[in-house]
Structure 1
């Protein structure tokens, strides 16, 4: 079955990390109402009123009141109707050093799903009250709560994510997880994971730790992971940069310093070459 293929990826369960990044209930924010945005997280929108249209690669989907819209990370165009109101849930999903990528369709619309809505409401009840603000949303990273409440919240996040995976797979949205089974690939993954992201990267240094030449290690990486060690290192740094820009806990200058850039201008050039927009523009575009 197609659904089995989309949900059959294996992961080391102790390394599975599903984080609630944002829970938002209200009308769309002024910035997020219309335009092209770079979404870094798995998004689940429940339309309480009105509708939203999203477009990507020439394909368009529309979710109306009472429907869910599930979208994988990536760039998309979105446009809400003037009277729209929604529940928006953003999840960060990772699995240790494994490479996680979304497969199949980039989005799907669910006609009705009372169970998913009930789980979303149960999750909301476990979260701390939201202080009135510009967008009436709750950015989760950094929020402090009692340990038992945090454990209850995380359990409800996992329940919601599990249901989300199941229903999304029925509509062609799935996930693929790639591990490096080669011992030398695993060793190089562990070596790079132990290195601060601000350190200067040397593929020769990584290869030497594995007892291989840089070119030979790259060949192992291409066969096992589909990318080179340089691409993995850049992806790791880019994920960190995007996370910091999304969470707005650090200034652009601080993110630049964390990644080892001498000047914020150098960071901006590097970031733009990968994302197509400047760090400042990316931060403004995130919803």
Structure 2
């Protein structure tokens, strides 16, 4: 099975059995009692028939949309090296099961909770994230650099806050006090992509996330992105990813 984790962070703790992944950076096997922190690349994964695991998928990004950890590679960490990771992850998994007893794991991210529940979940997750980041940095990963130009940061906030179904936010960008042509040149120099390319990346990431993590219909996802019908959405998605949305979703079915 092929999966795309280039814009997300995944961490698996193998309780029983084993998992083997292979991609551009190589082949990795994690066994029971080990953490596998997944590489930032598309890869193939195979679980043993007796595999069970704790799986955490999360975003940890700057306002630019870049991962806070630059180009994270695959890491295999024994439980004894970072015992707090399993302890906190187990608590977090139990909290989700108790909060959403009748929900599938794909729907966790779409559930509504009261503010007290939210802060409790965030507190435990932040504790786990601190251990994860320590493990990453101690194994040679680095914090990604952020642009220092406030005009670029303002453009990024505008692009990231704009509703995805309303089209490219040219009117909002034009209020930033700099001409569009100059802003685009500065943005492209700093971000290595145009304003329009960043906007499209945000839209494609939304589509990927909904296809992988929810049971929302393709038609509904298409409308959320401003498409008039699913056919145009399918063509657009395939042009950007190389595969149709139905096949992309099938690739996540066994996760």
Kept in 1: contact 2:35–2:78 (CA 8 A) = yes
SS, match of residue 99 in structure 1: coil
1:276, distance to aligned residue in structure 2 (A):
1.6
Q: In the alignment, which residue of structure 2 is the partner of 1:119?
A: 88
Q: In the alignment, which residue of structure 1 is the partner of 2:155?
A: 188
1:45, distance to aligned residue in structure 2 (A):
0.9
Unpaired segments of 5 or more residues in structure 2?
A: none
**Distance of 2:166 and 2:120 partners within structure 1:** 38
Kept in 2: contact 1:99–1:178 (CA 8 A) = no
Q: In the alignment, which residue of structure 1 is the partner of 2:214?
A: 248
Q: In the alignment, which residue of structure 2 is the partner of 1:81?
A: 48
Q: In the alignment, which residue of structure 2 is the partner of 1:201?
A: 168
1:235, distance to aligned residue in structure 2 (A):
1.3
Q: In the alignment, which residue of structure 1 is the partner of 2:241?
A: 275
SS, match of residue 100 in structure 1: coil
1:285, distance to aligned residue in structure 2 (A):
1.5
CA, structure 1 residues 127+216, in 2 after alignment: closer, same or farther (shift >3 Å)? same
Kept in 2: contact 1:38–1:282 (CA 8 A) = no
**Structure with greater contact order relative to length (CA < 8 Å, sep ≥ 6):** 1
Kept in 1: contact 2:162–2:169 (CA 8 A) = no
**Distance of 2:118 and 2:46 partners within structure 1:** 34
Question: Which segment drifts farther, 270-279 or 188-197?
Answer: 188-197
SS, match of residue 66 in structure 2: strand
2:110 to 121, 142, 159: 142
Question: Which segment drifts farther, 266-275 or 158-167?
Answer: 266-275
1:227, distance to aligned residue in structure 2 (A):
2.0
2:182 to 199, 216, 229: 216
1:285 to 234, 246, 251: 251
SS, match of residue 93 in structure 1: coil
Q: In the alignment, which residue of structure 1 is the partner of 2:9?
A: 42
SS, match of residue 89 in structure 2: helix
Deviation string 1:107-163 (CA, Å, 9 cap, x unpaired) is 110023322111112223333436478xx7464223344543332221000100110
Scaled by the length of structure 2, the TM-score of the pair is: 0.84
* Superposed CA RMSD: 2.6
Kept in 2: contact 1:38–1:285 (CA 8 A) = no
**Distance of 2:12 and 2:179 partners within structure 1:** 48
1:247, distance to aligned residue in structure 2 (A):
2.8
Asked if 1:257 is matched to 2:204, the reply is no
Q: In the alignment, which residue of structure 1 is the partner of 2:131?
A: 163
**Distance of 1:233 and 1:155 partners within structure 2:** 31
**Distance of 1:159 and 1:121 partners within structure 2:** 12
Kept in 1: contact 2:54–2:93 (CA 8 A) = no
1:200, distance to aligned residue in structure 2 (A):
3.0
Kept in 1: contact 2:227–2:233 (CA 8 A) = yes
**Distance of 1:47 and 1:239 partners within structure 2:** 27
| Structure with higher helix content | 2
